[in-house]
Chains A and B, each alone.
Chain A
Amino acid sequence: MKSESPNSNAKNEVLRYRPKPHIWHFVVLLAIIAFCVFPFYWMVVTSLKNQQDILSPIPKFLFTPTLENYQRAVTKFDVALSLENSLIIALSTTALSLLLGTPAAYAIARFEFKGKRDLWFWFITNRMLSPIVLALPFFILARNLKLLDTQIVLILIYLTFNIPIVVWICADQFRNIPKELDEAATLEGYNSFAIFWKIGLPLVAPGIAVSAIFSFIFSWNELLYALVLTRKYAQTAPVVATSFMSGYDLPWGQIMATGTMIALPVIIFSIIVSRQFVRGLTMGAIK
């Protein structure tokens, strides 16, 4: 599949390696695109079919589309409320984690202090922590503080993975700022907070954007905490997605309509920012 044989004529041509575009390269790329898009496409298509077309043992690729499933889903499953909850929670937790995370990232990138390694390790471990570890005690504590089923409790607990994302990505970015800039600013009479605020932050704006994108998407997609800590009023969109999966004779069309409404905004958003998205994946990952 990937037998990539360099063109043997290359030496005789200009001294550059430029293989001719191969047809199999084209075909395989198409196959990859199809593989990535198909499951999602199938969900969207299913959401536009009526139940009879969905249950047909021979999948129908041609059918009369209907929006009925969307109407039903919105009225039946509180989808609108859950999407609103998801949006509020994801935006608030992203804003808070930027507010708290960027100074910490700056300190880790710029200052030498005791326990820095441990602090860094602690931040990173939070990223690796299974949510179930915190979900159990958080449930009991939140229940006693009467915080169950509120947006606040989710905003707070999402900070446990969002602050590490911000610190991870931004610390990496702050390290790339030349120290001479700081020294020049110090001579100008800037204190360290002014240096951070006026010089550091604007220079790492791309990193901040990337970490904001990621913490938004992670919060939007989170299920386990939301499942454990909400009941009705603060339910987020993914929790609603779990709620129909019991019993027989499932309303597949409505389920897929709900799934589309949950996933489509984030997918469109990610495609628009796909360049930053890909950079974000590699920022913390590659040095």
Chain B
Amino acid sequence: MAKERKSYSTGAFWFVAPAMIVLLVVGIIPLLFALWTSFQQFILTKAHFKGAILGVWPIFDAPFVWLSNYRDLLFDESFRNALGRSFLFLVINLPIQVVLGLTIALLLHRPGHEWLKNITRVALVIPMATTFAVVGLIGRLVFNGDFGINNFFWNMVFGHKLEWLADPNLAFISISIMDCWQWTPFCALVLYSSLTMVPVEIEEAAKLETDKWWHVLRKVQLPFMLPGLTAILILRTADILKMFDVVFIMTRGGPGAATELISIYIQRIGFRSFEQGMASAEAIVLLVITIILSRIYIRFIYREI
């Protein structure tokens, strides 16, 4: 659409320049610095400040080791495990959230009980708006082994209690449940808005044609939901690769490394083991993965720009 009639391009520069300059300063310069650090054996507590170029770019006496951080990383099982754990988390949680979200969206779309549906839509906003760190606190409270309400219900049904946050598998499930609590509403609301874009006449005609709701879903509603689904895929993938707050508060990556997702892992290497050089190399690899994934995704939906 935008290409039919081109507007004059004079002045575009002045519109874009301020945002670009700011993002260069706060986004790209630190990134270049990270790249530079990733070639060094930079131990936070040992590296000594030796002065700065132009007062901004600090020079440290950290030994320059070229690509050896990256080489170590290739053979580092714990890094691969953390990355794998993040993808496992994605593969488990995304389908659950999409299916539950779709169910909720269909229920919201179904006629009847209008006032209750309005309340539901407002209620769905609550988990999403809850500060992630507080979601972590709630997780600690609800999944507490001694007095957690989750265990109370589990005990009522199965007659015994579980150590939710102390068992590796259960801890992984616990953080997954909190993630589903927070983000299923997002899927539901995005898919619900897609459903409202299906022209009423087409949908009603389809419903008169067939008694099977899944026929209507597949042939009529699904095409309208594809952009929403793609957006969910992109945003959830990015957010799960970024995921830090909830896990950091609920488990700090433990027990052992059972819930140590990639951001938690890099944070530990950088700020608890102080190996900034290694952590930078890992962050750069994560960045490359993110860029590749977004390239692939953007090819699918942002083609028109």
Contacts and interface: CB of A to CB of B under 8 A. Distances in A.
Given A138-B30, A167-B19, A259-B134, A144 B49 contact: yes
A204 interface: no
Contacts of A46: 141
Contact of A11 (B33, B208, B248, B305): B208
Interface string A208-227: 00000000010011011001
A40 B126 contact: yes
B129 to A, nearest CB: 4
Nearest to B27: A160
Contact of B197 (A133, A135, A286): A286
Contacts of B5: 179
Given A42-B149, A144-B49, A277 B129 contact: yes
Interface residues of B, number: 120
B298 A124 contact: yes
B91 interface: no
A188 interface: no
Interface string B109-151: 0111100110111111111111111101110111000110100
Given A17-B207, A137-B30, A241 B133 contact: yes
B245 to A, nearest CB: 4
Interface string A271-285: 100100110011011
A6 interface: yes
B253 interface: no
B286 A132 contact: yes
Contacts of B116: 26, 29-30, 33
Interface extent on A, as a size class? 35 or more
Given A59-B152, A263-B134, A252 B129 contact: no
A136 B283 contact: yes
A2 B110 CA distance: 10
Nearest to B293: A128
Q: Is the interface of B mostly helix, strand, loop or mixed?
A: helix
Nearest to B245: A223
A241 to B, nearest CB: 4
Nearest to A128: B238
B146 A57 contact: yes
Contacts of B132: 221, 223, 238
A232 interface: no
A26 to B, nearest CB: 6
Interface of A: 1-6, 8, 10-11, 15-22, 25-26, 28-30, 32-33, 35-37, 39-40, 42-43, 46, 54-59, 99-101, 103-104, 106-113, 116-117, 119-141, 144-145, 156-157, 159-160, 163, 167, 175, 179, 182, 191-193, 196, 217, 220-221, 223-224, 227-228, 237-239, 241-242, 245, 252, 255-256, 259, 262-263, 266-267, 269-271, 274, 277-278, 281-282, 284-287
28 contacts: A2-B107, A10-B207, A10-B208, A19-B110, A19-B112, A32-B123, A33-B116, A36-B127, A42-B149, A54-B147, A59-B147, A108-B305, A111-B8, A111-B9, A116-B305, A119-B16, A129-B242, A134-B27, A175-B2, A192-B8, A192-B15, A221-B131, A223-B133, A238-B134, A259-B131, A262-B131, A266-B129, A274-B121
